Structure 1
Amino acid sequence: MKIEDTAGIFRTMQRMPLNSLELFFTIAKRGSVRAAAAELNLQPSTVSHQLRALEQQLGVRLFVRTTRSVTLTDAGHELWEQGLPAFEKLRRAIENTQERDQKIRGTLRLNLPEIAYEVCLADRLAEFYATYPDISLDLTLSDQMVSVAAEGFHAGIRFGHRLHDEVIAAQISPPHRTVVLGSSDYFQDHGVPQVPQDLVAHDCLQYRFVDSRRTAEWRFQIEGEVQVQPVSGSLTSSSLGVLVDRARRGHGLILTSDQLVARELASGKLVAALSEFAYEYPALYIYYPKDYRGHPCLRAFVGFFRSGEGGP
């Protein structure tokens, strides 16, 4: 980017209400004023007041409000789609400028499930280390929801439906859809299930949570309702990698996140079935106590990985 182009961007942004725009994007991501207030460490009444001021300044309504949630209006959608990429780019540029002469160093301790590592971190860690070479990550893989501060962690990563309002959370993945997967050889030998009930006749390889020792349920969306289909199979494992490997070798079916097996689906090593009955999980979020909001390593990590998040 040319120097004169950069100067023009900064002159433009100086005339814009950056704090108010941050507030708008946070409400849109979190889906409620109260959740946005928790993330921004503000009172809900303050967030509501600042939102009204932004809408008055722009001359349009950005949200339709109910007692439980907020929904983007057409104008809000347009601001979200056109404004967020530019806002995030400017925010990262400002942070990089501020931190250029202030090397961030230290150890960041994270608690996360295996799926979060595979989906969110695995492909981007090399780039993260290149950007922040003085940060060391200490990763504990666990399915159990933990109080990060009490357990000695700086932050955790979990699906959004498992979080509570007492932590700050930032979205780092799109929502997930579950898929039933098998190899083409398996389906050729055993047939393709047409409805979830057909799975009783198949070898269903199951995931067991490490901490609770529970076996993950096979959930499906059937006629607008979530239903659990009982299954059985020749293998149960606490490793997603093991299950994906066995399915790829034609030894049974698995149920997992579409994001986890994107490469296998694209290459044809695994084939999806029952897609019309897919169950949707919320996005993955990194969460941490409000007291850790200013932790340099945590701020760098959140800022880096949230840049790839999905929209509302």
Structure 2
Amino acid sequence: MDNSTYGQLTIFHVIAREGSISAAARKLSVTTPSVSKSLRLLEAKTGVPLFTRSTRRISLTEAGKNLLLKTKDAIATLDLAMEDTQSLGEIPSGPVRITLSRFAYQLIVKPRLAEFCLAYPHIQLELSINDGAVSLVEEGFDLGVRFGDTVSEGMVARKIHPAFKIGLYASEAYIRQHGLPEQPADLSAHRLITYRFTTSNRVSPLILIEDGLSITPEIKPAMICNDIDAICDAVRAGIGIGRIFEPLHADMTDSKDLKPILHEYWPMYPPVYIYFTQNTQRVKRVQAVIGFFDCAKKTA
């Protein structure tokens, strides 16, 4: 492999990840013609086209998919080796891409975001808020924050928040109008503000714990949405009973106005983990982010 091939392969990987030559150029902060030229030279070396092109999109050929698969680990290893060397003796700097749920953003990141930016002004966080499962490697993320420690091979998971409950809450106005349920069966006469997952399009069922067993009480939906902020707003407005994660409720300035309901039946959610690839954690800027948001030792 000659000296130019590594650079051409790196650009090839960025094109594949970004989905277009122009997007790759923006990502790399270079001109579009230079990216096109690099791809043409690589295709000349391989002797086969690596992408099929149209006026609206670009997609990998079978040869391109094969090359991407067989060079992915090697390019990642070389990139990390360069970053390890460049970061010696330097302050943490550069972009760190994180995929996380809205809950994880509000509980883990939002309260300390300003503090982090002051502590590490040379690190540029890119936050992608997504409630679905995301592949760090395939989507080009450095870190992920999710419930539970079940991760794919080659990943490391570190607990950053202990287990907690998800509770039922209602406003005083709603309770005055509809009364206070005293047991799960009473919920059949009430209205629920519930959550729909954007990735699966599935409505989250109401699950409570009674005598150590999971139950799903009957309750009419008053409103369905895919945002926990909207659920909290609807609870405040007295539209219905809503599920809110207990630590989020505790941090609300108006938490006293949202009354807990059937507390003894609330289910437990697993701890929150930050996860990353074994190699990525060696990069100084990623180490800084992991260390900063790793509050497990304080809260476990």
TM-score normalized with structure 1 length: 0.64
Q: Cα deviation per residue 1:226-246 (whole Å; 9 max; x = unaligned)?
A: 223343322111010011011
* Mapped pair 1:152 → 2:160: no
Deviation at 1:283, TM superposition (A): 1.0
What is the one-letter code of the residue matched to 1:185?
A
Deviation at 1:166, TM superposition (A): 3.9
What is the one-letter code of the residue matched to 2:221?
G
Does structure 2 retain, via aligned residues, the 8 Å contact 1:156–1:287?
yes
* Mapped pair 1:250 → 2:204: no
Superposition CA RMSD, Å: 2.1
1:174-253 to 2 correspondences below 5 Å: 174-253=162-241
Q: Cα deviation per residue 1:104-145 (whole Å; 9 max; x = unaligned)?
A: 111111111100001111110011111101111111111111
What is the one-letter code of the residue matched to 2:295?
S
2:109 aligned partner: 121
In 2 relative to 1, CA 163–136 (structure 1 residues): closer, same or farther, beyond 3 Å?
A: same
Deviation at 1:193, TM superposition (A): 1.2
Please list every run of 5 or more consecutive structure 2 residues that lacks an aligned counterpart in the other structure.
Answer: 1-86
Query: What secondary structure, in the 3-state scheme, does the structure 2 residue paired with 1:146 have?
Result: coil
Please list every run of 5 or more consecutive structure 1 residues that lacks an aligned counterpart in the other structure.
Answer: 1-98
Does structure 1 retain, via aligned residues, the 8 Å contact 2:168–2:262?
yes
Q: Cα deviation per residue 1:75-118 (whole Å; 9 max; x = unaligned)?
A: xxxxxxxxxxxxxxxxxxxxxxxx99621111111111100001
What is the one-letter code of the residue matched to 1:302?
I
Aligned residues: 214
In 2 relative to 1, CA 184–163 (structure 1 residues): closer, same or farther, beyond 3 Å?
A: farther
2:131 aligned partner: 143
Q: Which moved more, 1:190-199 or 1:263-272?
A: 263-272
Name the one with the larger strand percent.
2
1:1-312 to 2 correspondences below 5 Å: 102-160=90-148, 162-164=150-152, 166-264=154-252, 267-307=255-295
Q: Cα deviation per residue 1:137-162 (whole Å; 9 max; x = unaligned)?
A: 11111111121111111111110154
In 2 relative to 1, CA 163–218 (structure 1 residues): closer, same or farther, beyond 3 Å?
A: farther
2:34 aligned partner: none
Query: What secondary structure, in the 3-state scheme, does the structure 2 residue paired with 1:272 have?
Result: strand
Cα distance in 1 for residues equivalent to 2:152 and 2:180 = 40
Deviation at 1:217, TM superposition (A): 1.8
Q: Cα deviation per residue 1:198-248 (whole Å; 9 max; x = unaligned)?
A: 222111001111111111121111101122334332211101001101101
In 2 relative to 1, CA 127–291 (structure 1 residues): closer, same or farther, beyond 3 Å?
A: same
Does structure 1 retain, via aligned residues, the 8 Å contact 2:161–2:299?
no
Query: What secondary structure, in the 3-state scheme, does the structure 1 residue paired with 2:282 have?
Result: coil
